[in-house]
Amino acid sequence: MPLLNIFANNLLPVLLLAGAGFALGKTLKVSPRPLGRVVFYVFSPILVFDLITRSQLPPGRIALMMGFAACLMLTAAGLAFMAGKLLRLERAALTAVVLTTMIGNNGNYGLPVIAFAFGQEALAYASIYFVTSNVMLYSLGVFTASLGHMRPKDALLGLLKVPAIYAILLGMVFVRTGWVLPDPLQRTVTLAAGAAVPCMLILLGLELQRAEWSRNLRALGIPVFLRLAVGPFLALGLAALFGLQGPARQAGVTEAGMPSAVMTTIVASEYDLEPSLVTAIVFVSTILSPLTLTPLLYFLGK
């Protein structure tokens, strides 16, 4: 069966490694925070730089992918806001719904799935989407979570703390100038980039084992439905509008169908933003994601 083969070859390896992280957290009580910081500050930016320089993506394609990703996330957030208002959610729950709908798990989960399913060129585009989602999370996402108590200046300064942004800029410089790293540095980059995805998956499992349950089923259902069911259809329409084709289209639409990001749980805890609701949304959307991602990968691979 084609769908079973797609699941086994593209999703099962990802879920098994994340499951190992989940079991590690449950049995040895390993905290995800130290590994999360290593991934955020070391492995993610090196992976982004490596993908851009290897794929030789021109700056115009990078900017187009970033525009597509930002437009898609803002549209999804708007839909979540309208749905939450219709269901008369309280302010904190509404903000949590908007945040978890806007930001998907484009790194820990999205990058390895896209690498398995569509190869290195699609992975390069997916890394741009991933960086854009980080920018959105640490600017608009944090601003939203703070419920208006954060100054715009602080939100902008927060962007300076996202190292993957510098990796994109540096990678674009290398592509435009034709520069190459000396062999020792290039081998270091290759080694670290190869370790990035496994570490992201272990981190995903460690984060999921801390999930709590929430009784707010109305709020829980909105981001799960919008991310897994509606997101890919929105992305297909926007991909046509932006002129994305081939690997760029495959990467963008797949990232749009990813479950809610584990990083939103950290933001929710920091701003006391219904953390049990947010962790439940992340957990449920991740558990259900194979049911929607498997046919999506089949469709995009045709």
240 close to 58: Cβ distance less than 8 angstroms: no
Residues 246, 103 contacting (CB under 8 angstroms): no
Q: Cβ neighbours of residue 25 under 8 Å, at least 6 residues apart?
A: 32, 205, 206, 209, 210
State the burial class of residue 109 (Cβ atoms within 10 Å of its Cβ: 0-12, 13-18, 19+). Answer: buried
For position 218, what pLDDT does the model report?
86
Cα 14 to Cα 111: distance, rounded to the nearest angstrom: 10
Domain segments of the chain as ranges: 2-301
User: What SS3 state is found at 24?
Assistant: helix
Distance between CA atoms of residues 216 and 89, nearest Å: 9
46 phi and psi, to 5 degrees?
-65, -40
In 3D space, the residue among 196, 175, 185, 178 whose CA is nearest the CA of residue 112 turns out to be 196
Non-local CB neighbours of 272 within 8 Å, separated by 6+ positions: 92
Contacts with 146 (C-beta within 8 Å, 6 or more apart), sequence order: 271
Q: Which residues does 173 contact at the CB level (< 8 Å), separation at least 6? A: 179
User: Residue 137 has what pLDDT?
Assistant: 82
3-state secondary structure of 77: helix
Question: What's the pTM?
Answer: 0.87
Second CATH level (architecture) for the domain 2-301: Up-down Bundle (1.20)
Show pLDDT as tens, one digit a residue, over the chain (302 residues). Answer: 788 999 999 999 999 999 999 999 999 988 888 888 888 889 988 988 998 888 778 889 999 999 999 999 999 999 999 999 999 998 888 989 999 999 999 988 999 999 999 998 999 999 899 888 888 887 777 777 765 445 666 656 666 777 878 888 898 899 889 899 999 999 999 999 989 889 888 988 888 887 777 678 888 999 999 999 999 999 999 999 999 999 999 999 999 999 998 878 877 776 777 888 888 899 999 999 999 999 999 999 98
In this prediction, residue 158 carries a pLDDT of: 62
